[in-house]
Amino acid sequence: MLIEFENVVVRLDERVVLSDLNLRLSEDRIGIIGSNGSGKSTLARLINGLVRPCAGFVRLDGQCIEPNKRTLLRRVGFVFQNPENQLVLPIVGEDLLWGLDAKAFSLGQREEKVRAALENLGVSDLLPRSVHTLSGGEKQLVALAGVLVTEPDLIIFDEPTTQLDLRMRNRLVDIIDQLPQQAIVVSHDLPLVERMDRVLVLDRGTVAFDGKPQDAVAWYRQYCA
């Protein structure tokens, strides 16, 4: 998917969060890093319509998001930093079924999609579990499964490893590596970001560096850390 930002400006409460953003993103794995408040999460939320630009345009494969929002945003999945923001129903299987359109798929088709998503992540045993009994890492994988069942072309991860222990963090990193979908990862986890194809460094609402992962991380360590 080609993601384009043309002269994008975002203001929140009169504060400029992103200023004159012009980008073309098409790589398979894209990382976004920056200090807290630099605008990186806002940039990610522009792509799935959670944030609207005050000026400028955001396009997916050449189409502006706003007039085509309903169609385009079906192609974009978003995994939040806190998985509890995505888990609605008390049982894992019920929660994942809830995210699928009953008008588009029969119950049997939806159940099969749910089983397949959990199996692909290696957590099919979680299907009958109560969401409230899951560990933080298990909740993160269930939230990702909830995105995968909708079969998006692009998945955006906002700080996906922040709440995970080392074992679960490494497992999630491997899963991100192996996903067939295009992925954008917003993270302070620099070793994870170094696995990307391209990395943006945001600083005070602008793209301060854009390039190869190792170069971007080195620049960030020197000027922002």
Predicted confidence at residue 67, as pLDDT, reads: 84
What local confidence, expressed as pLDDT, does residue 7 receive?
Answer: 97
175: part of which helix (H) or strand (E)?
A: helix 166-178
Strands 3-12 and 55-60: antiparallel
The structure's pTM equals 0.94
Question: Count of CB atoms within 10 A of residue 214's CB?
Answer: 11
Segments of the chain scoring below 50 in pLDDT: none
pLDDT at 115: 96
Count Cβ neighbours within 10 Å for each residue of 133-163 and write b for 16 or more, e otherwise. ebeebbbbbbbbbbbbbbebebbbbbbbbeb
CA dihedral 68, 71, 74, 80 (to 10 degrees): 20
User: Residue 101: what pLDDT?
Assistant: 78
CATH superfamily of 3-223: P-loop containing nucleotide triphosphate hydrolases (3.40.50.300)
Secondary-structure breakdown of the chain: helix, strand, coil percentages, each rounded to the nearest 5: 40, 30, 30
In tens, the pLDDT along 81-94 reads 999 999 999 999 99
71 touches 24 (CB < 8 A): no
| pLDDT confidence of residue 117 | 95
